[in-house]
Amino acid sequence: MNKLLKSLPESARKKLKKKKRPSWTAPMLATLTDERFSDPDWIFERKLDGERVLVFRQGKRVRLVSRNKKLLNNTYPELVDAYKKQPNGSFIVDGEVVAFQGRLTSFSRLQGRMKLTDPEKACKSHITVYHYLFDLLFLDGYDTTRLPLWHRKKVLRRALEFTDPLRFSAHRSEKGEKFYKEACKAGLEGLIAKNANSKYVHSRSRDWLKFKCVNEQEVVIGGYTDPKGSRIGFGALLVGYYKGKQLKYAGMVGTGYDDELLRNLGKKLRDIEKDDPPFSKDSLPKKNVHWVKPKLVGQVGFTEWTGDGKLRHPRFKGLRRDKKPKDVVREKQ
């Protein structure tokens, strides 16, 4: 047994499970809540605005995998190199890849790296990325997911060497409400509150909760409008979310695009056009509208939901490649 695991108290070691390292394991997901609380049995981490990435290492073989099983080695080659240099031979770790705009993580800036699949171009992109690690799922022949979170984080902190571009995701204990107010004042996305005694489950859980400072929502793109004036590519996106098997219309998103995104996304949209709307029989725009197959997922920021289920003042933040359209539902507090 790894010496770090041996150093755990006997009660914790009994929760370890000896097994072969799996080639895939689904990540644990947080639940959105409007609760804000302090609790000595909970820890609070910054909510990062990036891409969820799990790392699977066996010997010198490293795989970076998105939450929908896409291999990302060519997009983040510097992370692959950093994990190859780690002292422990076999592990699975969970974290968020981010890029910064000033002091804040920026999903929009990260988009410039997410679209690259050539390692040489990725390294020359001048978009520096970091991987913030917050959990340990497997270490040297043992499944660690049944350990309480605070034990997993303690072992993770000592199991890897944290030098850039790898960073340990720090946390605060107990004072969630105070930390939340500080985070929002600093312009952060919010916090992830985690039950310090909880095990790691491969699904959404209320042992991890999202305290958001701003409203965000993943959306399925179902159409677009023609550009006007000097605008290129398209005017606005028509977006929605799934409710059961139906794609519900959630409104138009007309801001948040630069010319490069308008051009590139416009081409992708034209390639997947269809005759009929993919949305259920809601009240839909009819003029200058083009419908598309619901294959693309985006992320938007917005002020609130209207009474009829539409996004108020939405702003486009970027495309998501780590979620299937059918998995996009309205996040409810």
Record the tokens describing residue 173, joined without a space: 């204990």
Torsion of CA 161, 82, 48, 326, to 10 degrees: -130
Yes or no: say if 104 and 188 are a contact pair by the CB < 8 Å rule.
yes
Please pick, among 6, 47, 245, 317, the residue that the annotation labels catalytic: 47
β 172-174/190-195 pair status:
unpaired
Q: How far is CA 275 from CA 63, 240, 241, 272, 323, in A?
A: 40, 18, 20, 10, 25
Element (H, E) at 180: helix 176-185
Task: Encode burial over 136-161: b for 16+ CB neighbours within 10 A, e otherwise.
Answer: bbbbbbbbbbebbbbbbbbbbeebbe
β 273-274/246-253 pair status:
unpaired
Yes or no: say if 96 and 52 are a contact pair by the CB < 8 Å rule.
yes
CA pair distance 4, 7, nearest whole angstrom: 5
Q: Which one, of 122, 120, 134, lies nearest residue 92 by Cα?
A: 134
Report residue 218: phi and psi, to 5°: -80, 140
Nearest-5° Cα angle at 179, 175 to 181: 125
Active site residue 84: no
Listing DSSP states for 213-270 in one string gives SSEEEEEEEEEEE---TT--S-S-EEEEEEETTEEEEEEEE--S--HHHHHHHHHHHH
CA pair distance 242, 325, nearest whole angstrom: 8
Active site residues: 47
